[in-house]
Amino acid sequence: MTQIAVTVNGTRREADVEPRTLLVYFLREQLGLTGTNVGCDTSSCGACTVHLDGESVKSCTLLAVQADGREVTTIEALAGADGTLHPLQDAFHRHHGLQCGYCTPGMLMAAASYLKENPAPTEAEVRESLEGNLCRCTGYQNIVESILDAAGQMSGAKA
Amino acid sequence: MATTEQYVGRPILRKEDAKLIAGQGTFIDNQSMAGMVWMELVRPPYVHAKVDSIDVSKASSMPGVIGVFTAADLDSAFPAGLPMVWPITEDIKIPTHWPLTKDVIRFAGDAVAVVVAESRAQAEDATEEVAVRATELPAVLDLEEAAKDEVVLHEDLGTNVVVHWSHGGAGDQAIFESAPVVVHERYTQPRLIPNAIEARGCLAYGIPAAGEYTLVSATQIPHIARVGLSIATGIPQTKLRIIAPDVGGGFGSKLNIYAEEALALALARHLGRPVKWIEDRQENYVATIHGRGVLHDCTLAGTEDGKILGLKFVELADMGAYFQLLTPGIPELGGWVYMGPYDVEAYSYEFTGIMTNATPTDAYRGAGRPEATYVIERLVDAFARRIGKDPAQVRRMNLHPPHADAQTSIMGLNVDSANYEPTFDRALELAEYDQMRKEQAARRESGDVRQIGIGLSSYIEMCGLAPSEILGALRYVAGGWDAAEIECRPFGKVVVRTGTSPHGQGHETSWSQIVADGLGVTPDDVEVLHGDTAVSRLGMDTYGSRSAAVGGEALRQAVEKVKEKARIIAAHELEVSEDDLEWTDGAFRVRGAPDKARTIPDLATSAWQAHSLPQGVEPMLEGTAVYDPPNFTWPAGTHVCVVEVDTETGQTDVLRYVAVDDCGVVINPMIVDGQVQGGVAQGIAEALYEEAVYDESGNLMTSSMTQYLIPSAMEIPGMILDRTETPSTTNALGVKGIAEAGTIASPPAVINAVVDALSHLGVTEMGKPASPERVWRAIQGATDGGAS
């Protein structure tokens, strides 16, 4: 067992983990944060995307020990503390950007980090940014529209 | 809240979303219980082998291991094997399918033992230490090889050729010899892996002393699973509850009863502890059903001017190593749509089902109908090329004439309604078909490296599964009805219990729209409960684009029953006769005195209070309907795909995709569009990227998502969608179904486009998927052939 300390969704969490424990299982099973889903185990589908120090990562590819001393944000902390939806969550709802909802937390986290990098993307750029996130239900069209809409909302809010 | 607003037909935002966008879905892997243990299966690395011995001693003593069980250990746990419910012919040969194989490993997913441990990792570690000695047998995966029976999978059956089903044919069969133009083609469709982004999983628990058990499972079919798992485990249906929590996609892959579900229940009973199993992706690729895997010999009889006279198809279908729930019935489902939307004089279809050393096949989005549509639509293009006519022109001149009422088709079933020409014309208009042909001609003229191809696909599908009487005649074990219960709570809220089991289709929202319109309340007043056999008692679940056409219509009928009772109470309270009441503006109103009125919330409160009900009227305002559809529903449409093919690299890009569908009356256009977009994406994936590839020894080479190419947002284009609306005559809602249309229509549209892009180079055939390598080889083959 290895002791780690990770700041998860703003709270410092200390835990003993097996060195082989993947970050996603640490989040899901040890911390009970089950919003982050596992889809493939080969870092292909992106369902498990979270933020590590603000950057999106696939939490099935990282060991929990690699998050030691760092900050992790999961889908559970995407909305405001008062429950206000993140503009991306709101846009996914308004544009029917989800069907079964299993890839959705990963899509939202990937998009949230991408929009920080590129606040005013083109459609082609949004599509490119989603290359590592697979959805089997929507055909992506409404996901792309949701992200473009959210980008507009977020830049409007800033202006 | 009583309201007069209309909701059906509007893009009402989904009620399902709130929890899913917050990461609060109830997916199976998010569920755990006190005392829970984990199950992992031992699947040795063979595709065909005789098991000589299994030594569990080392695994049993591993840390955290509670037990290791082989088929022999669980012999008494399973009074019957896993169910197959569609023995389509009298002489079909059905292999016994035990949850753990007893003697021979017949495919890579065939498990020989199961490990139970305190943690998933401990269970997984222990599976590595189960020592299986086996004698490898030759494996057979090729359909025509397997049909020779040199290697036989099930010795007791004596053959791999387990079923032959013939439609019987209709019309003058001599035409396939005598017609002025006879086109023969052979088309292969590889196996596909469904790839719901959530793999399977289940959690079984119970009260052993009471003999009561619950299985929470990522399934599309809790109601059917209750019956099937009761038979497999011997737990009476009265003591068995199945719950489908939020399910992360299905596409048919969770329309089944699997070994792991039976094992989890048996072990929960044996150990007295909750048992959980979660499938990993590599396991999913071998242990969850595959789709397609068929080979067709096709004949089209026609005239020089483009009339299609007859269509004939002979199919070999890969069943895999066992039958799963519906395996032999899947090709037959396609067997009723091989005429497509065309008006033909002669029809013939038959198929032979063959066992191979691979994962069982079963329903994958479209189930038989995509396979059928692919070959008809490829064949129509081949016919058009042969006679030198435009494929759009050939299709249009052969479309079946419209009919508003049900009419018997050449294949013998009644098509509920049809009006194909407006749909077809609209698709060509949106695709700018003539403009695209000009662009194509210009690129050919200039010898552009990047050539354009235009592909069409017109389809008809059989949905709304299914009229029970016809299912009986087709030897399906169960009925095809569905059910809905409505319970009006006092003060205005309405609880609906539906027999459908959605997993992304948005029934909570659409069903609320139906009830809101019927009862004069808002969708937010309606709570739709589903997916739990203890909550929604009656149902036949979700698959085959049946939910709106059968479950939705059942709900509409339940609404009518509620209103019948409500009218009696309203008449009593308003002191008028029932005939003096009319339902207008969301309430029962006295004719001529519309202010004298009672809304459903008023009447629900009265019925709950029961202080002053008319004589003989029971308390509570509720209604239940069990609806058996009198016919199938028959959606149709035309899709057009424009591709650009790089003739130097073989790379294909979809430039434009147009889908015009007719699914009858639309309840929620936003959800319908979403179903089309997702379905088309899956079909484009099938056409250009996806294929289960095996090596010569039968090992799956595309064994994870890193090798099996699921397209991303980079590859799937935005789509141009439109609809026509020809109401179904099968149900009063007028709905037909939409969830499979995109997957049915799109593969031939894409492949026809690829062939069309290259036909001037001499390319006439293209397999699925049209990968850059396959396209490049086809170009080389055609141009080499031309040079020699």
Output the 3-class SS for B81-142: CCCCCCCCCCCCCCCCCCCCCCCEECCCCCCCEEEEECCHHHHHHHHCCCEEEEEECCCCCC
Mean pLDDT of B43-70: 98
Q: Which of B21, B716, B718 sits opposite A93 (nearest CB)?
A: B21
Query: pLDDT at residue B208 above 90?
Result: yes
Class of domain A2-77: alpha beta
Which residue in B has a C-alpha nearest to residue A143's C-alpha?
Answer: B713
pLDDT in tens, B264-283: 999 999 999 999 999 999 99
* A12/chain B closest Cα distance in angstroms: 21
Maximal C-alpha separation, chain B: 95
Name which of B568, B599, B601, B587 is nearest B490 in CA terms.
B601
Residue in A33, A79, A143 closest to B22 by CB: A79
Q: Model confidence at B4, in pLDDT bands (50, 70, 90)?
A: confident
pLDDT of B754 strictly over 90 = yes
Q: pLDDT tens across A46-102, in order?
A: 999 999 999 999 999 999 999 999 999 999 999 999 999 999 999 999 999 999 999
**Could you give all domains of chain B from N- to C-terminal order, each with its CATH number?**
17-23+481-627 (3.30.365.10), 31-137+197-249+254-287 (3.90.1170.50), 291-465+631-787 (3.30.365.10)
The token duo for B752 is 């026809």
CATH number of A87-158: 1.10.150.120
Residue B509 has pLDDT above 70, yes or no: yes
Beta pairing partners, B414: B408
Q: Would an 8 Å CB–CB cutoff place A11 in contact with chain B? A: no
Exposed, middle or buried by CB within 10 Å (0-12, 13-18, 19+), for B764?
A: middle
SS3 letters across B626-678: EECCCCCECCEEEEEEEEEEECCCCCEEEEEEEEEEECECCCCHHHHHHHHHH
* Contact yes or no for B247 and A100 at CB 8 A: yes
Question: Which residue, chain included where needed, has tokens 């099996």?
Answer: B708
Listed in order, strand segments (DSSP E) in B20-64 are 37-42, 49-55
Show residues of chain A in contact with B23, CB under 8 Å.
33-36, 74-76, 78, 105
Q: Find the CB nearest A41 among B21, B281, B712.
A: B281
User: pLDDT, tens digit, for every residue of B572-602?
Assistant: 999 999 999 999 999 999 999 999 999 999 9
Tell me which residues of chain B, numbers 531 to 560, contact chain A at a CB-CB cutoff of 8 Å.
none
> What number of C-beta contacts closer than 8 Å exist between A and B?
169
Complex confidence, ipTM: 0.98
Q: Is B720 helix (H, G, I), strand (E, B) or coil?
A: strand
Could you tell me where the DSSP H helices lie in A39-98?
87-94
| C-alpha span between A49 and A130 (Å, rounded) | 11
**Domain coordinates of chain A in residue numbers?**
2-77, 87-158
Closest CA of chain A from B192, distance in Å: 14
Hey, is B445 helix, strand or coil? helix
d(CA B680, CA A136): 11
Instruction: Say yes or no to pLDDT of A156 above 90.
Output: no
- Does the pLDDT of residue A159 top 60, yes or no? no
Q: What's residue B788's pLDDT?
A: 39
A39 touching B (Cβ < 8 Å): yes
List all residues of chain B from 266 to 295 with a beta carbon under 8 Å from chain A.
Answer: 280-282
- Residues B337 and B462: beta-carbon distance below 8 Å: yes
Question: Does A101 sit within 8 Å of B246, measured CB to CB?
Answer: yes
Instruction: Decide if A73 contacts B218 (C-beta within 8 A).
Output: no
- Residue A76 at interface with chain B, using a CB cutoff of 8 Å: yes
Chain B residues within an 8 Å CB radius of A74: 23
| pLDDT confidence of residue A158 | 61
Confidence of residue B9 (pLDDT cuts 50, 70, 90): very high
Task: Find, in chain A, the residue whose alpha carbon is nearest to that of B670.
Answer: A96
d(CA B661, CA B637): 4
Measured distance CA(B712)–CA(B696) in Å, rounded: 30
**How do residues B68-120 score in pLDDT, each as one tens digit?**
999 999 999 999 999 999 999 999 999 999 999 999 999 999 999 999 999 99
Model's pTM, two decimal places? 0.98
Per-residue pLDDT, B787: 43
Residue A98 and residue B21: Cβ atoms within 8 Å? yes
Distance CA B593, CA B591 (A): 5
Q: Give dist(CA B198, CA B184) in Å, integer.
A: 41
Does the structure show a pLDDT above 50 at B342? yes
Give chain A positions within 8 Å (CB) of B677: 138-142
For the cut 80, the answer to whether the pLDDT of residue B568 exceeds it is yes
Average pLDDT value for residue range B524-550 = 97
Which residues, listed in sequence order, are joined to residue B239 by a DSSP beta bridge? none
Residue-wise pLDDT tens digits, B357-386: 999 999 999 999 999 999 999 999 999 999
Phi, psi torsion values for B326, nearest 5 degrees: -125, 10
Q: Which residue is closest to A34 within chain B, CA to CA?
A: B30
Q: Is A137 on the interface with B (CB under 8 A)?
A: yes
Q: What is the residue-averaged pLDDT of chain B?
A: 97
Judged by a CB distance cut-off of 8 A, whether residue A23 touches chain B is no
Residue B1: pLDDT over 90: no
